[in-house]
């Protein structure tokens, strides 16, 4: 498979873009080699600068639920382009999107739109600290909540991929206010609340972890988190930037029936253009400026371009209903099971963990990966060999063992069949 043009572009990029990229996880540090520069995309496919057509499982890191460049997005962009992309004034569009989010996720009584998942989590954490007047935040090792000072401590995703040992640039005083426990560890949860409960502003977690690879929650862990935060007067924040509108219309809250005080959105809420949001109970959200004293703001927050595409995307979800998630689940199960069967038949020990249309192939003999420590024991060299063998066979996976594969409605049975056939060839090459 030719990659000369990507190589040339990467050399050129590295002269002006740090590491040749604008987000570290794209730089192939976790797998080696040259990142593919993408020229265009449609449906389940991306076309790279050398003209290779690749089946895509990154899908803008989960932001796309209906594949690349669906018609309804282009129509929304066209409508918006004629009227202007950002005014800096309130618009009816923002009300409509807020009302639609509340219809899909009724626990979100009020919402604040921002421009990324990181802005959403940063806003939610500041709001929690403002409401409780407490300094400390609890997170889980391996969970990634965006490039936010308080939340980069032992984070997953790109921080894990690059094995950045410390959060360089984050003052120790800030890092000291972030407490960390292992994901799914109820006893660690209980002891940290017993010791620090009175200082805790919030416990923020991915209700389904996707940034250490996919690790489903123990329901008891979620339930104890809800009980203990309520007991001590801390807020429970679900970071649904990845899971929101992906694993169900109402996200993890719909699946697990544990209701947080605040929830963060990103990715799908913008349908592939920059948008994020955080929201929750009215009496909490009312503490935000201009009503309350907790300041949060953004020039492009709720801009007509992002809101138009977000609205078009969530309207597709609303009219497709439950059948959308049932079909995505069926296809993802077929692919995940097929991959696991083929790897094991080839003598490659893997464990595939999946929730809905997001999953991870862990290169590990363990039957189950329950937290970050277990995820880090995976054979990342073997993952890298698999990644490149799949790429040579026309399949572009997320370039890290600590990320999820994402399916969209464009990943139909033909695409899945091609992926499984490529997996067989890749395993033979390995
Ligand atoms: P953004 O600021 O990248 O829009 O969102 C940050 C974020 C927050 N919370 C969760 C659960 C997330 O998964 C993310 C971002 N996810 C990564 C991929 N695992 C983004 C990819 C990247 O950093 O380029």
Please give the chain's pLDDT, 430 residues, in tens: 899 999 999 999 999 999 999 999 999 999 999 999 999 999 999 999 999 999 999 999 999 999 999 999 999 999 999 999 999 999 999 999 999 999 999 999 999 999 999 999 999 999 999 999 999 999 999 999 999 999 998 888 888 787 765 578 999 889 999 999 999 999 999 999 999 999 999 999 999 999 999 999 999 999 999 999 999 999 999 999 999 999 999 999 999 999 999 999 999 999 999 999 999 999 999 999 999 999 999 999 999 999 999 999 999 999 999 999 999 999 999 999 999 999 999 999 999 999 999 999 999 999 999 999 999 999 999 999 999 999 999 999 999 999 999 999 999 999 999 999 999 999 999 9
User: Bridge-partner residues for 43, per DSSP?
Assistant: 68
Q: In whole angstroms, what is the distance from residue 141 CA to residue 371 CA? A: 8
Of the candidates 219, 306, 267, 269, which has an alpha carbon nearest to the alpha carbon of residue 108? 269
- Output the CA angle 299-241-382, nearest 5 degrees: 125
Alpha carbon distances (Å) from 352 to 142, 215, 374, 405, 424: 18, 10, 14, 11, 16
How far, CA to CA in Å, does 175 sit from each of 3, 83, 180, 203, 225? 41, 44, 10, 15, 22
Q: Which fold has domain 4-69+321-429?
A: 3.90.1150
**Residue from 121, 211, 262 whose mutation best tests the ligand 1 pocket (most atoms within 8 A of CB):** 211
Residue of 48, 57, 183, 267 marked catalytic: 267
Query: Counting atoms of ligand 1 from 1, which one is nearest the CA of 116?
Result: 4
DSSP E strands in 334-397: the ranges are 351-355, 358-362, 395-396
| 188 neighbors 224 (Cβ within 8 angstroms) | no
Q: Residue 239 catalytic?
A: yes
What are the residue boundaries of the structural domains of the chain, listed by start? 4-69+321-429, 71-320
Query: Across-strand partners of 352?
Result: 361
Domains 4-69+321-429 and 71-320 are alike in CATH topology: no
Lookup: tokens for 20: 């040749």
* Contact 67 CB / ligand 1 (< 6 Å): no
- Find out whether the beta carbon of 211 lies less than 6 Å from any atom of ligand 1: yes
Kindly provide the residue ranges of all beta strands, DSSP E only, lying in 19-93, ordered along the sequence. Answer: 38-42, 45-48, 53-56
- Give the separation between CA 11 and CA 182, rounded to whole angstroms: 39
Q: For the whole model, what pTM was predicted?
A: 0.98
CATH topology of domain 71-320: 3.40.640
CB-ligand 1 contact for 240 (6 Å cutoff) = no
Largest interatomic CA distance in the chain: 62
Instruction: Point out the ligand 1 atom lying closest to the alpha carbon of residue 264.
Output: 9
Atom 24 of ligand 1, residue of closest alpha carbon: 23
User: Is the CB of 242 inside a 6 Å radius of any atom of ligand 1?
Assistant: yes
Angle value at C-alpha 360, between 63 and 245, nearest 5 degrees: 30
Selecting among 183, 239, 256, 325, the annotated active-site residue is 239
d(CA 139, CA 328): 30
């Amino acid at each position: 498979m030719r990659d000369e043009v990507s190589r040339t572009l990467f050399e050129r990029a590295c002269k002006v873009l740090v590491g040749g990229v604008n987000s570290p996880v794209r730089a192939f540090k976790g797998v080696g080699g040259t990142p593919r520069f993408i020229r265009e995309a449609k449906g389940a496919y991306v076309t790279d600068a050398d003209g290779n057509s690749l089946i895509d499982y990154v899908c803008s890191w989960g932001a796309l639920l209906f594949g690349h460049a669906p018609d309804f997005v282009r129509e929304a962009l066209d409508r918006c382009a004629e009227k202007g992309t950002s005014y800096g004034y309130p618009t009816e569009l923002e009300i409509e999107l807020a009302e639609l989010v509340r219809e899909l996720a009724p626990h979100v009584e009020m919402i604040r739109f921002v421009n990324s998942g990181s802005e959403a989590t940063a806003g939610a954490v500041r709001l929690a600290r403002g409401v409780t007047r407490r300094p400390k935040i609890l997170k889980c090792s391996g969970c990634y909540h965006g490039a936010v000072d308080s939340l980069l401590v032992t984070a997953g995703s790109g921080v894990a991929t690059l094995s950045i040992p410390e959060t360089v640039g984050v003052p120790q005083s800030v890092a000291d206010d972030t407490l960390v426990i292992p994901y799914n560890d109820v006893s660690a949860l209980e002891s940290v609340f017993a010791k620090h409960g009175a200082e805790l502003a919030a416990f923020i977690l991915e209700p389904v972890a996707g940034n250490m690879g996919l690790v489903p929650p123990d329901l008891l862990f979620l339930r104890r988190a809800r009980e203990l935060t309520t007991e001590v007067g801390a807020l429970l924040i679900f970071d649904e930037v990845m899971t929101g509108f992906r694993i169900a219309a109402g996200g993890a809250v719909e699946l697990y029936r544990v209701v947080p005080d605040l929830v963060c959105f990103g990715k799908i809420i913008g349908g592939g253009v920059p948008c994020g949001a955080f929201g929750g109970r009215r009496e909490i959200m009312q503490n935000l400026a201009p009503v309350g004293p907790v300041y949060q703001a953004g020039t492009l927050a709720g801009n007509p371009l992002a809101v138009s595409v977000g609205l078009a995307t969530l309207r597709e979800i609303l009219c497709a209903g439950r059948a959308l998630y049932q079909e995505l689940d069926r296809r993802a199960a077929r692919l995940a099971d097929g991959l696991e069967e083929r790897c094991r038949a080839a003598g490659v020990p893997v464990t595939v963990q999946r929730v809905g249309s997001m999953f991870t192939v862990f290169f590990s003999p363990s039957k189950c990966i329950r937290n970050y420590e277990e995820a880090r024991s995976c054979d990342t060299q073997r993952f890298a060999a698999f990644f490149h063998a799949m790429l040579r066979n026309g399949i572009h996976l997320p370039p890290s063992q600590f990320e999820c594969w994402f399916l969209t409605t464009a990943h139909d049975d033909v695409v899945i069949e091609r992926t499984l056939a490529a997996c067989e060839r890749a395993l033979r090459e390995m």
